Amino acid sequence: MTNHVAKENGQTKESSKFFNLKEMPHIVKALDRNQKFHSDILQAIGNTPLVKLTRIPKSEGIKCEMYAKCEFLNPGGSVKDRIAHRMVLDAEERGVLKPGKSVIIEPTSGNTGIGLALAAAVKGYRCIIVLPEKMSDEKVNTLLALGAEIVRTPTEAPSESPESNISVAHRMATEIPDAVVLDQYNNPCNPLAHYDGTAEEILWSLDDAVDMVVLGTGTSGTVSGVAHKVKERCPRCVVVGVDPYGSILAQPEELNQSDVQTYEVEGIGYDFLPRTLDRTVIDKWVKTDDAVSLPMAQRLIKEEGLLCGGSSGSAMWGALQAARELKEGQKCVVLLPDNIRNYMTKFISDPWMEARHFQPVVDKKIWWWDTPVSEELAAPVGSVPLGSSPAQALAALAPAAPLLTVLADDGSIAGVFTADNARRRLANLSGSTSEDLEKFIVKKFYKVDLAENPTLGLVSRILDIAPFVVVVKKDTVSNVQKAVGVITSSDLLGHISKAQYKNGTN
Ligand code: PMP
């Protein structure tokens, strides 16, 4: 536009010229003179920035200085790139992993898988990653993009059961020629990568003057490796482990079945003690849950500009509890393990947070938004017992119905059966209709309980991210949640337009 005007006038106007960059005020950062380029992306793992936190500690009344170790800036997006690379190098050196021949198989919550798939892509290994259903689709898509093969296992399977990702990976390794499980739960290179790398970097950044380090615990390789090095060089430093309720890492002696609960935060917490955990070097434990972790991860993003994941929120929340005892001038480091990318459709999405009651439903100020869901709104839904075959369930699924509920013996909903999921199982997981129906059902689906007075607004928010919402009601005698029906977008639209007509509202 400006160029056009300039030509018409027959002279060049100042505003149409490119900027005189040479004459402008310059802000030039000191160059890293050590490294001009990397021979491959694996060489860029580690040396992550340590960033001083400004807004959150201040608003929480913390007196000490707080720093974030930004592990989410590793090339694969997490702290686990470090151990993946280290385990591969070690296994190659020992001759266990043979370039061009070996197949890497690993059970993981995703990030070690991404680190291994990254190393496998660069080095040309076949890589099979076995991960529980709970882990995000974003992780799966990243793994697939890196050329890894994926096997999913049920989230609720206890680690020692044959269905767990750990058992499945080890079983597959006996069946696939030249398969190697590097085994992050037992491999000394897991804590060693942090002893040699992560901890050295933290200590160097703060001139060995660290008063507290706070880390989430999964395999616990990060906390154990960091703690061992920090205690050698800075014995007064307090090491804090952060563990979700539902995990036994913090207090194994208190394990009992009623404590076991599931949680949304990925990558931390286990139902067994990995060999890579050394509890003797952990001075304090803080227990966390989703309700505090996920909003804190959102705050790290919004208030500090740190594009991290859910377990970073757990670590930060734990750090805020523990750092209260530190005084002005003391230094607390919190490690942020992974990247926002893994959770774009999860805690980063407001409807996802609202559907799980982690934050209030947004107020849209629309006339029907706060109307309670009524029983009549839910379209009737068919059901089959869990003992049915997939073929029986398929036959029972009416052409227009989005789903069937699959009922356990006590009448509770074991899961839902949808044509979409059945097709996916048959197409992608080489499943067969002779398998148990349980393998074909979706256990995690969106539901609203009439006893909790859900609103049409909540249902609409859920329909932003899911094709249907199952309406349930708790049976007062048996205390079991029973299905009342299902709501889709067309059910909701029909209901609203009928109400509009009746009320004369528009
Ligand atoms: N956060 C996330 C997101 C992770 O993937 C992991 C690794 N499982 C951790 C924290 C915990 O790290 P570690 O396994 O070293 O305890």
CB 416 within 8 A of CB 470: yes
| Residue having the nearest C-alpha atom to atom 3 of ligand 1 | 267
The stretch 275-297 carries a mean pLDDT of 97
Q: Which CATH number fits domain 359-503: 3.90.800.10, 3.40.190.10, 3.40.50.970, 3.10.580.10?
A: 3.10.580.10
What does the block give as tokens for 386?
């869990």
pTM: 0.92
Q: Please state which architecture CATH assigns to domain 50-75+194-343.
A: 3-Layer(aba) Sandwich (3.40)
In angstroms, the CA 454 to CA 374 distance is 9
In angstroms, the CA 116 to CA 148 distance is 9
What is the reported pLDDT for 142? 97
Q: What is the 3-state secondary structure (H, E, C) of 336-351?
A: ECEEHHHHCCCCCCHH
CB 123 within 8 A of CB 223: no
Contacting residues for 113 by C-beta, under 8 A, at least 6 apart: 106, 129, 131, 139, 143, 148
Question: Per-residue pLDDT for 26 more than 60?
Answer: yes
How crowded is residue 296: how many other Cβ atoms within 10 Å of its Cβ? 22
For the chain, give every residue range classified as CATH 3.10.580.10.
359-503
Contacting residues for 365 by C-beta, under 8 A, at least 6 apart: none
| Residue having the nearest C-alpha atom to atom 6 of ligand 1 | 267
pLDDT interval class at 427 (50, 70, 90) = confident
Strand partners, 98: none
In angstroms, the CA 185 to CA 108 distance is 9
The stretch 204-226 carries a mean pLDDT of 98
Active site residue 58: no
pLDDT digits (tens, 9 = 90+) for 371-393: 999 999 999 999 999 999 999 99
219 lines ligand 1 (CB under 6 A): yes
What is the reported pLDDT for 505? 53
pLDDT interval class at 478 (50, 70, 90) = confident
Share of the chain above pLDDT 90, in %: 80
The stretch 289-298 carries a mean pLDDT of 97
313 lines ligand 1 (CB under 6 A): no
| Residue having the nearest C-alpha atom to atom 11 of ligand 1 | 218
CB 254 within 8 A of CB 246: no
The stretch 6-20 carries a mean pLDDT of 68
The stretch 19-37 carries a mean pLDDT of 89
How far, in whole angstroms, is CA 148 from its chain's centroid? Answer: 19
Pairing between β-strand 65-70 and β-strand 50-52 as defined by DSSP bridges: antiparallel
pLDDT interval class at 2 (50, 70, 90) = very low
pLDDT interval class at 401 (50, 70, 90) = confident
For the chain, give every residue range classified as CATH 3.40.50.1100.
50-75+194-343, 80-181
Q: Report which of 223, 227, 246 is spatially closest to residue 235, judged by C-alpha positions.
A: 227
Question: Per-residue pLDDT for 254 more than 90?
Answer: no
How far, in whole angstroms, is CA 59 from its chain's centroid? Answer: 27
What is the reported pLDDT for 14? 59
What is the reported pLDDT for 49? 98
Probe target for ligand 1 pocket from 78, 166, 195, 239, with the most ligand atoms within 8 Å of CB: 78
113 lines ligand 1 (CB under 6 A): no
The stretch 440-454 carries a mean pLDDT of 93
pLDDT interval class at 58 (50, 70, 90) = very high
81 lines ligand 1 (CB under 6 A): no
pLDDT digits (tens, 9 = 90+) for 318-362: 999 999 999 999 999 999 999 999 999 999 999 999 999 999 999
3-state SS, residue 122: helix
**Mean of per-residue pLDDT scores for the chain:** 92
The stretch 246-270 carries a mean pLDDT of 78
In angstroms, the CA 298 to CA 310 distance is 8
The stretch 8-25 carries a mean pLDDT of 77
Question: Per-residue pLDDT for 9 more than 80?
Answer: no
Question: Per-residue pLDDT for 302 more than 90?
Answer: yes
Q: Which CATH number fits domain 80-181: 3.40.50.1100, 3.40.190.10, 3.40.50.970, 3.40.250.10?
A: 3.40.50.1100
Lowest mean pLDDT among 10-14, 110-114, 147-151, 213-217: 10-14
Q: How far is the CA of 216 from the centre of ligand 1 (A)?
A: 7
Question: Per-residue pLDDT for 258 more than 50?
Answer: no
Question: Per-residue pLDDT for 66 more than 50?
Answer: yes
Question: Per-residue pLDDT for 71 more than 90?
Answer: yes
Q: Choosing from 36, 52, 69, 80, which is the catalytic residue?
A: 80
224 lines ligand 1 (CB under 6 A): no
In angstroms, the CA 9 to CA 445 distance is 66
- Indicate the residue type of 221: G
